[in-house]
Structure formats: structure tokens, C-alpha cells
Chain A
């Protein structure tokens, strides 16, 4: 394949306008779910979604090349551990945005993750997350659920989000919790009262289980099915920072991709027909260097990929404005040609039934981001 930027562009344009089904607008009463999986440490887009047609990759990372690839089209494949995602691809429910990143090029995990969640341009300046602001705009108090212990920055900015991350030990007996509630009521502690009510009214689906991603994602699929329950779920996977032992078909990165695939599998199987009203989307703070380092790993880079699944996708596709491997960003990283925040805003537009322009203005401060709603999602 001749991996020039132009041919990819034409390819994607050609496929984008073919067979655009004009589905009737979904009734506003349908509950749509958005599941975010934060991939912390910097996911290597070239391992998750390898570029098939570019022989140049071999000169950069001979030890990290995949033997097996799950073919998507003539240009790209999935890593073999993304088998559920590949099955979903075959039925039109998986997509990729490639060579994309938030507009941050300094390669610090902390700053990068902060910006990935706030959607801002200066680390630590914003105190709320883009999803929290989006939910606020849609007046969806209390509809966010984090499957993590601290409330992720991503969801901050709206009241009454819930989180579920079961502790190792047991709760006090219910009579004691009720007595505590009475104490809060007697002391007019409104905020504490509010929280203890959320805790006491937790449905059975939000009890038990453990902190494994397997258990959490099974729980989440039950919770998201509740028509009155949360419509946002946020997961965290750590450990993508493979400076060494990154591996290829097996290895450090493969293990992490397997975790993404497991979450998607559990959601697909657990959500049943609600999967059609769901969108799953990954975030990461940056990609990794194209070239392998001395420890059979990679360093912090720039462009990466966004993995998506769910019935709210328009169809299966790789959306990219492929920069090629000839011209790397700062001679080392995959270039990012799509501001990932445009994809985030478009996804929120599709799930929260808000106009893209409204989100662009109120959530992303009118930043120069592109609208992918038409291309990527059922609207």
C-alpha cells in the first residue's frame, strides 16, 4: 500500500458518503448510555490498531511487530487481543479514530491525563471535566457513575454523581446506617444526608462484587440497563506505560488491550438490546514513540487511536487523516491530525441529544474542534 496522507483521505471520504442510512430520529425518551474507558499511561495506537500497509513500520520496531492481525480493511487491523471488538466490527458496531490526540505535546502523564479529562489546554487550570460540563448542559444531575474510587475529574462539574468500587471489608448493618442517617438529619447536615440516601438507595445491582474490571463491567452493564439509573459509566485501566516489555501479540500492551476487550465483551453480553443505545469510547493522554527503545518498549509520544463500540455508531469504519510514517512528529511520534476533543464532543452530542455547536461553545470554550457527528454516529 502506498501510505500517503492523500490516499487515506480520499479513501475515508469515499466510504463516509456511501450507504448513509437515514434512520428515523430516536424518540427522546430512549435512554442512551455513554461508557468511557480511560487508558492511563499512554496507549500505543500502532499496537492496538496496526497499520498493515506500511512496510516502514518494520524498520522502527522489529521486536514489537504483531504476527497475527485481525484485518479491518486494506490499511488497518486490530491487535489479536481485541477479538470482541473485531466481532463487533463485523456487525457494524465498532469503529476507530486513528492518528488522533488531545492537543498536548509535552509527554507528561499527569499533565496529559489532566487535559484528557478537563478538555483544556493548560494543565490544572480547569477544575471540571468535559463530561461533567456536558451533563450539566444536558441537565442530567446524578446520571454519572464512576467505576473508580476517587470521582474522576472527567465527571466533575455536576452534582450527585455516583461511584461504585466495592471495598474489601463489610458495611455496618443496615440498622446502624439508619441510625447514622437519623444523626445527620438531627444535625441538619444536608450534604451528608444526601449522600447517605444515595448509599441506602443503591439498587441491589450496586452491591457486592469486587474491584476487578471483570466484576465492575458486569455490574455496570446491569446498572446501565435501569431506565432511571445512570447513563454514563467511567472505567479506568492503568498500566499502558510500557517503557519495557511491551511485547507484541503477547506482552505488557497485549495484556492491557485484553482488559479493554473484556470490558466491551461484558457490556455487549450484559446490556443485551440496550447495547444498541450505547456508545463505548476510549481516552488516553498520548500515544507512544513509533520507534522501539532499548528495553523492547516505547517512550511517551503523541498521536494514538480512539477505540469505539456500540449500537450508536453509524457503521464500522476507521476514521483518519493518516499522516504516514515518513513524517513523524518531532522525528519520533505518530502525528495527530484529529483533535480528539472533536470526537468527544460529537459523542456527547449523539448520546446526550445536544447540538454539537452548543457543546463546542459551552463545554469546549469554542475551541477549534471538528464535528464528526454525521460521520461517526447515529443522530
Chain B
């Protein structure tokens, strides 16, 4: 039973009392959007697009001026990077994320937020990880968690980051006004469809390959997405704002998964067409099954049974895809099946759980970050970024649009397991980031306290931890024992 606080959250700290009704404790967190624990002066998507715009346009000038000499070019580019905070914002955003996970009192909600951020991954392209991922998490993902899945998909699909990293700006209707002009003006540049976003919207974000869509469906999906693009201008270059541009939109009827759009009966055209298609995708049986299964895989086990998946699907159908209900159903299934099934944790939730239960602070407080253009950020500021990178889980930097793969096989190679031991060996050094009055005394009683609170089988866990003597070694044993690696 006590495993549950780690199963859906980050475990309980030595100061916390065990909630009387664990299930209610979890589901209550989804009644409304919990505020962020750190909310002062956070950059918005538009703030960061503006700074990225400056980076892009100034970089073009440097290319033109110094591109011939690689050495000078690199030097100038480096200067520009620091001027625009390319090495600043990612660590700052990670720091906010972890501060929030540990301090805002709604750990189950935060776990769910991280889940959606990975489901709707922005793969690392053109520094998205540095400037954009944090604001995207706050503006596109978080507010949608109080709405329907369909609304979340609309929000994400039409977000600047998604459109940018899936190349939808290059997705131009060949028969659109702009397409016809560009393809007949005699110069070399030709434009046409780019299927990237269309394919991922079907495969990764909604119905999954289980829906058996065809290549024609993908092409039609790409056509529906035409027009959703960054607005090019001389001032903005390719870092312009996201605007629906009808002159890029492919006209005519589109057929996706057996439904037709823009016909006599179904007159959805232009930007509204995408909303109509997303509505149908989100109401597709395969979409519910895909997402419900993925939720079970994240919180319960790599191989969930149909029994676990079904209640989430039922909550989805009953509430018309209202996410708080889907989230609560997930909490309930995790509560019912959690004790019998184990889930191997990805490195980030593992790290945050250890920080919570062992009471260390592996990041520089968000309050201490001040962006000064041109300044090279000190190492301690970026530490959290290195830790996640070394553990193999730089959450804002997935290499592919499918995000980080959430199964045991992905995370159990020798070197990745070595990293967990190596960093657990460092945990004790992170105690210095905590004010003296808030530090714990790491006596036997401390370990008994957190182990009885957080483990259904405390005796074994205690035996393992107490087989080592020093605090440093007890941290290593704690963090790497099977009971902590798996929830």
C-alpha cells in the first residue's frame, strides 16, 4: 500500500505524514490545476520566440560575414549564444520543474504533467531544448490538463514548438495559392507536402498504428495541416510567430480513416478543418486504447492487462475525454494493481524520488537564477542539466519525436545502471544546497521513518540499507535497491 506514494508520485518525505486515504490523496490532486511552486517572472513562449528570433537573425549575419573562416565564425557564434542565453534557460527551466515536483504539494499531478510532456515530445532540433521546452510545458500542456484530451491535442498540434520541430512550415499545399505561384515562377524552389507532422499526429499523438491508417491517410492528414506555419518575414526569418496562413492551405476534399472533410455535408475548411479532424481522431477507439495503455505502462507495468486498461477507457467514454476523469481513473487503477505489478522507473522520476525521500537538493534554486546577457553561466547553475544528461534522461532533449521510451529494457544497459550508482554516490554532496535548519540527521531513525512510509515491504529494504554504514553508502544502497529502482 505505501508503495503507492512512489507509484504515482515521488514518495513521502521524512516530515510528511501518511495520508489516511491514499487514493483520495491522489485523485484530489486532479480537481483543479495546482499552481506552480515557483511562478515569478517565468518566460512565455512568445518571450522565448523573440529571443530565439534575435538569435536566428543575428546568426545569419554572422554566417554571411564570417562563414568563410571557421575559427572566427565559431567564436562569434559562441558570443551570440551567451548573449541570448542558449546555455542558461534549459537548466533554469529544469530547476523550476524539479522545484515544483518537490514542493507544490501535488506530486501525482506533476508526474502526470511530465507524462504528457513526454507523450507530446518536442525532439531536440534547433535548440528547442534550450529556449522553448519549458514554456511549451507551461502554456500548451499544463492548462490543457483541466480540459479534454481533444482540447489538449488541438493546443499541442497548433503550438509553435510542435509545428516547428515537425517541419510543418515546409508543408505547403501544391495547389494552394502560394504553392501554385511558387511552382510556376520558373526558379528552382519548388514546394509541396511534408508528411512529418501529419504522420506523427496519427502515429504518436492520437490513434497509433493500431488504427491501420494508410499512406493515403497520412498524405491527407498532411494536406489538412497545410497552412499552420511560422510566418516568414525579413525581420523574423524562420523564427516567426505561428499563424494559420490560408494561402498555403491545400483546398479540396480530404479523406482520413474513412471520413471525408470539406464535402457538401461536411463543410469544414481552412483552419477549422484541422479541428474537425482532431475531434474524430480523439473519438477513435484506437486513440482511447493507445493512450489508456500508455498511462498504465507509465504508472503500473510495461505489460498492462486489458483489465487495467478498461476502466480508463470507460472513464474516457463516460466523460467525453475529460482529462481530470481520465487521470483519476488512472490513479484508481494504479491503486488497485500497483502492489502486484512493478514498474522500472526512468532516471528523472527516480532522481526526484530520491531527492524527496532522502531530502537532498540536486539543483540550484530557481530564485537564484538571473539571466545576464553575455554572461557564461557558472557550472553549479547547469548541474541539473548535466545530471539528467549523464543519467541518460535529458527530459527537454529527446532525440526523437516519440520522446523517451518508457520501458525497462531501454534503461537497463550496463552503462546506464553504472550512472545510477555513480550519481547515488554523489547524492550526499547535494546536502550542502539545503539550509542547515532544514537538513536531516541521517541516523537509523531517519531511514526507518522514510522506509516505513514508502515501502510495502519495509523489512527487506531496511536490511539492505543498513547493510552499509556511512550515510554516503546508505544513500547508494537506498537509491539502487530493487524497491527504489522499481515502484
Q: A245 with B418: in contact, given A172-B473, A184-B482 (CB under 8 Å)?
A: no
Of the listed stretches A87-95, A186-194, A257-265, A345-353, name the one at the interface; the rest are far from the partner chain.
Answer: A186-194
B124 nearest in chain A by CB position: A110
B399 nearest in chain A by CB position: A110
Partner of A195, one of B64, B203, B399, B417: B417
B392 at the interface (CB under 8 A from A): yes
Output the least CB separation between A209 and chain B (Å): 12
- A184 and B426 CA atoms in complex are apart in Å by 22
Question: Chain A 192-206 against B: per-residue CB contact (8 Å), 1 yes, 0 no?
Answer: 100110110010000
Partner of A331, one of B73, B188, B196: B188
Output the least CB separation between A244 and chain B (Å): 4
Enumerate chain A residues within 8 angstroms of B66, measured Cβ to Cβ. Answer: 245
Enumerate chain B residues within 8 angstroms of A118, measured Cβ to Cβ. Answer: none
B477–A183 CB distance below 8 A: yes
Question: Chain A 164-189 against B: per-residue CB contact (8 Å), 1 yes, 0 no?
Answer: 11011111110011011011101101
Partner of A294, one of B64, B125, B414: B64
- A184 and B481 CA atoms in complex are apart in Å by 7
CB proximity to B under 8 Å, residues A254-293: 254-255
B60 at the interface (CB under 8 A from A): yes
Enumerate chain B residues within 8 angstroms of A184, measured Cβ to Cβ. Answer: 482
Output the least CB separation between A293 and chain B (Å): 9
B253 at the interface (CB under 8 A from A): no
- A149 and B394 CA atoms in complex are apart in Å by 12
- A182 and B481 CA atoms in complex are apart in Å by 10
- A189 and B342 CA atoms in complex are apart in Å by 12
B64–A169 CB distance below 8 A: no
B245 at the interface (CB under 8 A from A): no
Interface centre among B401, B482, B485 (most CB of A within 10 A): B482
Enumerate chain A residues within 8 angstroms of B68, measured Cβ to Cβ. Answer: 63, 296
CB proximity to A under 8 Å, residues B388-409: 390, 392, 399-402, 408
Enumerate chain B residues within 8 angstroms of A244, measured Cβ to Cβ. Answer: 63, 67, 73
Partner of B392, one of A111, A150, A164, A196: A150
A165–B425 CB distance below 8 A: no
Of the listed stretches B47-55, B270-278, B460-468, name the one at the interface; the rest are far from the partner chain.
Answer: B460-468
B464 nearest in chain A by CB position: A183
A324 at the interface (CB under 8 A from B): no
Interface centre among A171, A176, A195 (most CB of B within 10 A): A176
A250 at the interface (CB under 8 A from B): yes
- A191 and B408 CA atoms in complex are apart in Å by 10
B467–A169 CB distance below 8 A: no
Partner of B476, one of A151, A161, A176, A251: A176
B17 at the interface (CB under 8 A from A): no
- A239 and B125 CA atoms in complex are apart in Å by 13
B457 nearest in chain A by CB position: A187
- A201 and B63 CA atoms in complex are apart in Å by 50
Q: A192 with B485: in contact, given A169-B426, A295-B60 (CB under 8 Å)?
A: yes
Output the least CB separation between A330 and chain B (Å): 9
Enumerate chain B residues within 8 angstroms of A173, measured Cβ to Cβ. Answer: 473
Enumerate chain B residues within 8 angstroms of A331, measured Cβ to Cβ. Answer: 188
Interface centre among B64, B426, B467 (most CB of A within 10 A): B467
Output the least CB separation between B315 and chain A (Å): 29
Partner of B417, one of A196, A254, A295: A196
CB proximity to A under 8 Å, residues B174-222: 188, 196, 203
Give the interface size class of chain A: 35 or more
A310 at the interface (CB under 8 A from B): no
B414–A162 CB distance below 8 A: yes
Partner of B63, one of A196, A198, A295: A295
Interface centre among A124, A164, A183, A202 (most CB of B within 10 A): A183
A337 at the interface (CB under 8 A from B): no
Interface size for B (C-beta < 8 A) is 50
Partner of A245, one of B67, B196, B410, B482: B67
- A198 and B414 CA atoms in complex are apart in Å by 7
Enumerate chain B residues within 8 angstroms of A250, measured Cβ to Cβ. Answer: 70
A120 at the interface (CB under 8 A from B): no
B477–A180 CB distance below 8 A: yes
Output the least CB separation between B166 and chain A (Å): 9
- A171 and B123 CA atoms in complex are apart in Å by 31
B460–A187 CB distance below 8 A: yes
- A36 and B336 CA atoms in complex are apart in Å by 47
Q: A245 with B414: in contact, given A108-B196, A167-B419, A295-B67 (CB under 8 Å)?
A: no
Question: Chain A 132-176 against B: per-residue CB contact (8 Å), 1 yes, 0 no?
Answer: 000000000000001001110000000001111101111111001
A177–B421 CB distance below 8 A: yes
A297 at the interface (CB under 8 A from B): yes
B165 nearest in chain A by CB position: A110
A229 at the interface (CB under 8 A from B): no
- A129 and B483 CA atoms in complex are apart in Å by 32
B58 at the interface (CB under 8 A from A): no
Partner of B418, one of A146, A151, A171, A192: A171
B14 at the interface (CB under 8 A from A): no
Enumerate chain A residues within 8 angstroms of B401, measured Cβ to Cβ. Answer: 110
B67–A169 CB distance below 8 A: no
CB proximity to B under 8 Å, residues A240-257: 244-245, 247, 250-252, 254-255
Output the least CB separation between A64 and chain B (Å): 10
Enumerate chain B residues within 8 angstroms of A109, measured Cβ to Cβ. Answer: 125
B36 at the interface (CB under 8 A from A): no
CB proximity to B under 8 Å, residues A40-70: 63
A163–B482 CB distance below 8 A: no
B23 at the interface (CB under 8 A from A): no
A225 at the interface (CB under 8 A from B): no
B393 nearest in chain A by CB position: A150
Q: A124 with B402: in contact, given A177-B421, A199-B417, A245-B63 (CB under 8 Å)?
A: yes
Interface pairs (24), CB distance under 8 Å: A110-B400, A110-B401, A124-B402, A149-B390, A149-B416, A162-B414, A163-B415, A169-B425, A169-B426, A170-B422, A171-B422, A172-B421, A172-B425, A176-B468, A179-B468, A182-B467, A187-B460, A192-B482, A196-B417, A199-B418, A245-B74, A252-B70, A296-B63, A331-B188
Which B residues fall within an 8 A CB radius of A?
60, 63-64, 66-68, 70, 73-74, 123, 125, 167, 188, 196, 203, 386, 390, 392, 399-402, 408, 410, 412-419, 421-426, 460, 464, 467-468, 473, 476-477, 480-483, 485
In the A-B complex, list the 5 residue pairs whose CB atoms are closest, starting with the nearest: A296-B67, A295-B63, A251-B70, A163-B415, A244-B63
12 more A-B contacts (CB under 8 A) besides A146-B413, A183-B464, A244-B63?
A108-B196, A110-B401, A124-B400, A163-B415, A179-B467, A184-B482, A186-B464, A195-B412, A244-B67, A245-B73, A294-B63, A297-B63
